[in-house]
Amino acid sequence: MNKDVSGKGYAGDKVNVPTIPGYTVNDSKVVSGQVVIPEAGGTITVVYKKNANPVTPVNPDTPSVTSDTNPAVTPSSESTVPSKTESRPATPTKESFVGQAVYSLRKIHLYKNTNFTKAARKASYSKKPRPYRPMFVVTGYRRSATGKLRYKVRDVNHASKTDGLVGYITANWNYVRPVYYQSKYKTLTVINPRGVNAYKKVNLTKKVRNYKQGTVLHVTKFIHHNLTTRYVLSNGNYITGNRKLVKMGKQKMPRYVRAKKDLKRYKTINLTERNKHIKRGTKIRIKNYDFSHANSVTKAGTLRYHIAGGYITGNTKYVKVIKR
């Protein structure tokens, strides 16, 4: 007798195989009651064997099983959208992501091979603020010995010593995401400390202007350009769909802070070279916000406020954001 079970999932995900009263899984690809969804999706056949003493079903409406069974777990090739602010893409294929840029959301490692061991690590990347997340270009993919999907990548963090390294990183959605937006939004907010440039051409040539951090942009069209994406603004100009530079929707930006304690102003963003003492209670106008150790892939980065004459800490123990 055959028993079909259908469901949805992503390539590389593990799904539970069904439990059949009176039968035991007899299949090497099933580990701890789970099977890995293959790249192409489709039907996964799991082999069972009949127990010597079948277990009586709990549900009296469930018919007894009297022969060997090959149930099929059939994940759909279509993907559902998780309850996240940004949509998770459909199950990737080689063609859909090779050549694209991805960045890391959490601390990850670059490995020499697909079986991730400490000895195989080539580099480590800390969890960074969004504008400075470590970035990679996907050049291929492989699976580990346990069936987990890995991206073969090239490090493209050009200001880091790791630039140009090649190896493998996890493809787990909770750790790695596409750099470029894949959907249209009505508004975008510039989040990069150096702003975002607008261009006359879709290939981002013939620069028109730079929009400062905090600027809310109105979008009329979303387009794909090669392996990247672009947004067309209400004035007809183009900007990148790079998540490190813009964020969907209207984002609130701090404009003023008040010093909760005496603090120092520094010449550099890493808070070196003190150049002024600021008294408690002082209201300070913010030019923009930024983060320390921008080009380091091993140091996380700490919030700083860029003010007239230098930088101050963004630590809430020392400053409080105010409206005016």
Predicted confidence at residue 11, as pLDDT, reads 52
CB of 138 within 8 A of CB of 152? yes
pLDDT at 186 over 60: yes
- Total residue count of the chain as it appears in this document: 324
CA count, 13 A, side-chain hemisphere, 300: 6
Digit-coded pLDDT (tens) for 127-170:
999 999 999 999 999 999 999 999 999 999 999 999 999 999 99
Digit-coded pLDDT (tens) for 97-115:
789 999 999 999 999 999 9
Helices (H), the chain: 94-97
- Mean pLDDT over 270-293 rounds to 97
Q: Which of the four pLDDT bands, split at 50, 70 and 90, describes residue 43?
A: low
pLDDT at 35 over 80: no
**What region does 179 belong to: left with phi over 0, alpha with psi -120 to 50, or beta?**
alpha
- Mean pLDDT over 73-95 rounds to 39
Least confident of 3-7, 194-198, 287-291: 3-7
* CATH 2.30.30 is held by the domain 187-248: yes
Q: What are phi and psi of 152, to 5 degrees?
A: -90, 125
pTM for this one?
A: 0.71
What percentage of the chain exceeds 70 in pLDDT?
A: 75
Cβ count within 10 A of residue 102: 21
pLDDT at 39 over 50: no
Least confident of 64-68, 86-90, 241-245: 64-68
Q: How far apart are CA 160 and CA 296, in angstroms?
A: 6
Domain ranges of the chain: 1-80, 94-178, 187-248, 256-322
pLDDT at 178 over 80: yes
Tokens of 72: 């099929």
Q: How far apart are CA 231 and CA 221, in angstroms?
A: 6
Q: Which of the four pLDDT bands, split at 50, 70 and 90, describes residue 280?
A: very high
Q: Give SS3 for 278.
A: strand
Cβ count within 10 A of residue 126: 18
